[in-house]
Structure 1
């Protein structure tokens, strides 16, 4: 099970749902560490690839530093783990939509970053979604980034740097 850390985040990342491997480890995006490597490459966290690649070290980083030191948070639209989004049921995102909207309203992150178009589409309830900046939600800037597992890492690093700059503004 993943304990979601998001209180007082500057940047709140929103994923669609956990992978079973990540869920078992208790760390988001730990099945494939690419999200963590991208955060490091973009300068949002200061951790070595060796530490990020080690499950025990990554769990310590997530629990002790991700939110408290780096000011980052993460929630998923759906908490139930599946191998991919095709395992999700229609309407399953409704409780998560409310939970995330409440977190944005109460925690007031500077930026909310939806990880992938599918995530934002499920949150918004619309198929018409594009990458990049979206309409603000509750005073937070909203960005839809490319999913970390496919495509060129340089694109995602640039996106994360844009998000970091916006969170500092």
Structure 2
């Protein structure tokens, strides 16, 4: 049996290029060059964009183009502790508050002198404060603390034609037909050192003063004072809707008397104004003036009716004496 011997095909037996293969290779070469060109362009564009975020000065591409400013961080890094844990900035120290006062027994300020009432019969009005402060008791004159706005509001409202000083409290009856007293006699640092019971207990004493001197009106200098009077009279707290600034109801008159010996007297009407203490900050100065002003207008009107003047009464009542004093003063100067 004859064997068939296989031999490798020679180059002559291989298929010949017909030109199509050459064309395909040229096309692939062209595509490769295009891909490389695109990649090179993309790389150059990325590097150009990246240059915007580099620190330092970036040179312009040409004479007309402007350099892109370096990237600037817009957020600060948070504070960190030793463990690299972000922490919030420490807050500013809180403002120190004045410690609140508590009740102080009378013995605490027993060494201070008592303040004398400035009262006379038939005045146009009397002012009722809470009690003398330490500065007032030491000075011996009403509302003597510099932060107290009593004398300022007295002038701003029209009760006086000039701003008086605490030392002029003794001249109030003679100059303006007005007087001054308090619902509690003993001094203290502030009203918080008084008890509600002793403030309420001062009401009958106040009523007796009004009954004795019979002023045309009583001016309560502070809401807390009127609340104390209310507690004594009605045996309960004053409700929010029951309180009002200014003139109170007719039934709330003070010092009224009945009887044949003293004669009938309905009592003095009551006007409630804001507190003048420097510690009272619940109302703005303009609001306090608005509360005081109607009473000042009323006082001026009554002074005009009684004495023919809105200013100092002694210039009218003692006009001859005042004129003589001025003449003597002028003569002494000459």
Q: TM-score range by the shorter chain?
A: 0.7 to 0.9
Structure with larger Rg: 2
Report what 2:212 is aligned to. 106
Instruction: Name the residue aligned to 1:89.
Output: 195
Residues 127-153 of structure 1 show CA distances to partners (whole Å, capped at 9, x for unaligned) of 313322213413312111111243322
CA distance in 1 between counterparts of 2:288 and 2:217 reads 16
Give the unaligned 5+ runs of structure 1: 53-57
1: CA distance between counterparts of 2:125 and 2:292?
A: 10
Of Structure 1 and Structure 2, the greater strand share is in: 1
1:39-58 deviation per Cα after TM superposition (whole angstroms, max 9, x unaligned): 1122212334xx63xxxxx3
Deviations 1:79-132 (A, max 9, x none): 111122221124213552122101222222222111111111112214313322
2:247–2:270 CA contact under 8 A, matched in 1: yes
Residue 157 of structure 2 corresponds to residue 47 of structure 1:
no
Judge conservation of contact 2:132–2:185 (CA < 8 Å) in 1.
yes
Corresponding pairs, count: 160
Gaps of 5+ in 2: 1-113, 257-266, 306-334
**Aligned partner of residue 75 in structure 1, secondary structure:** strand
Q: 1: distance between equivalents of 2:237 and 2:172?
A: 31
The runs of 4+ residues in structure 1 deviating greater than 4 Å are: none
Distance 2:214 2:199 in 1: 21
Q: Any idea what the Cα deviations from partners look like across 1:9-64, whole Å, max 9, x if unmatched?
A: 2111111111111111111111134110111122212334xx63xxxxx31x112x
* Preserved contact between residue 39 and residue 157 of structure 1 (Cα < 8 Å): no
Highest RCO, 1 vs 2 (Cα 8 Å, sep ≥ 6)? 1
> Could you say which residue in structure 2 is the equivalent of 1:118?
224
SS in structure 2 of the partner of residue 69 of structure 1 = helix
The residue number in structure 1 matching 2:245 is 131
- Counting only pairs closer than 5 Å after superposition, residues 136-147 of structure 1 correspond to structure 2 as 136=250, 137=253, 138=256, 139-147=267-275
Root-mean-square deviation (CA, aligned residues, Å) is 2.1
User: SS in structure 2 opposite 1:24?
Assistant: helix
Aligned 8 A contact 2:157 2:297 in 1: no
Indicate conservation of the 8 Å contact 1:40/1:47, yes or no: yes
